[in-house]
Structure 1
């Protein structure tokens, strides 16, 4: 790990771990039951700069290198709650669009408060009839005077209930193709916005909503970047999302493996348990290979590379591997692993969503096949 992490990274890791051990870990079971994370925790994280890695200091950020984000994701994963991971991660995925393409007004009004922990936000992309296919989004935003009038719906929106605003994919030109999409910030309390909670199989700590937009008036100044560029902004940002999901999934697999080996080490000594020993050895090998690939992708990201193929591979491999390994660890743990109050049962529920969110396995395979078979090229926006 010394190839990527320096001494100052590891010092910060100790600080973050101590914070989570005190402020999050003792309450995570309660938040899982309540399906609610108090906003106060984001304020505490904002005060310590944890929500601002990679963002300029003028907006409350700490302007650190990408490996601080990586170690933060790793420490969040050790909390063993996919819901907390998702609630934290979706905020970090939404902010770069405002930072990269938003006006100064939007940065001050919407970017800075989230970094400081005073607000929370989310991405509103998925629609009931579209799933992972962003190009099928039907939510429209028609310009009328100094406002857009938004109509449509979104679903499976993490932080959709408690978020203060949504970075929303809309069609500003319903008759255009990819050039008809835009990104619009919609305030959660705007007239005409409805939020209905979705009760999920996993990710219980995070709130998830179906959103409705009924003639919602949104100021034109809430447009992120230029009209018609939203799809291309999104394609660039999704690489970071997929890389983060890969990193989180790999660390979920590591957590499950470390626990299982620790608990079963004495029982697995000797040739009588050779099959389970070899199963664990193979899982360790698989995780290490995937982890090193994800780390290399993180380094490439830090160096500014635009990696559609690599991030798609990382995401599809890591999420599927975590799912497979967590199931196998439950089997090795025998009856203990299937108890509802055991964290492995929670990890199993949570890992299933990883293969769907941020682009399903099928979407990832389609992207990979287009690039390696059809010679499709993707460039940064």
Structure 2
């Protein structure tokens, strides 16, 4: 990152510094938004342990875990999108469009509906995806199996990883297939459980808790470390498979490993937060617009986390006394961004 930083213009460096400062202030600023508005002074006093009892509980027990979970989820999804775009050389690659998110959601829905007796308390409303050990361990396993199955299907239908132009099309088909299977399971499940699962699939950080942060944090941190170690190999793929082969890189194994790594991070995040789409598509493009010619995983993770925190703030403040699902907002923004990327690619091809 040091060489890349020195090569940037003064305007780009100033923009990056402003963004980093804003990212550092984001937890402090975002904590003040909610049903009970808090000033920056109140938030700061609560963080230092000097606020009122009610204010401190709101900040430390409700909003701060939620903000941290939103940041972790945004960072993980953005990293997954960036890694998929590098591995497939496709700017439209995203865990949501690749079927990874749909596979993870299907696996989690299978666990919830088929183990209805064990999850009856979790699916009854207020206890859905709380800090219970059963939901913390069983849901991620089910989501991981579903996402891994989707990756294997996409990989097999794309010629073993060699025909990268078919990967995205295969991912879209697998995504629709798992979405249909998940809807079928919900159709035959209990109405109350189906309603609770349906709300969960739309994405929300409402059940965030300190006890539930360790698993997504561990998955995202581990995935980030692996991607940093493989960054040179991923950048070599941008030159084409033949160029990567001449450098001694086993392209199919690397591509398969990246897909499985992204499926792991996505599965844990889906099991914790539900389905949140298009973050992995938008953030890497925004980072490349902010810093042209640079593939920075650090900046991608930071931008994804900040983006998700403010989307969550918008979700709980846009309507009075109501909270919108986070996935609805990201899907609305992401679909428009998807059309923008398609139009921009078309203009580049015509030029």
TM-score tier after normalising by the smaller chain length: under 0.3
Between Structure 1 and Structure 2, the one with more strand by share is 1
Give the alignment's TM-score, normalised by structure 1: 0.26
The structure whose residues are more often helix, as a share, is 2
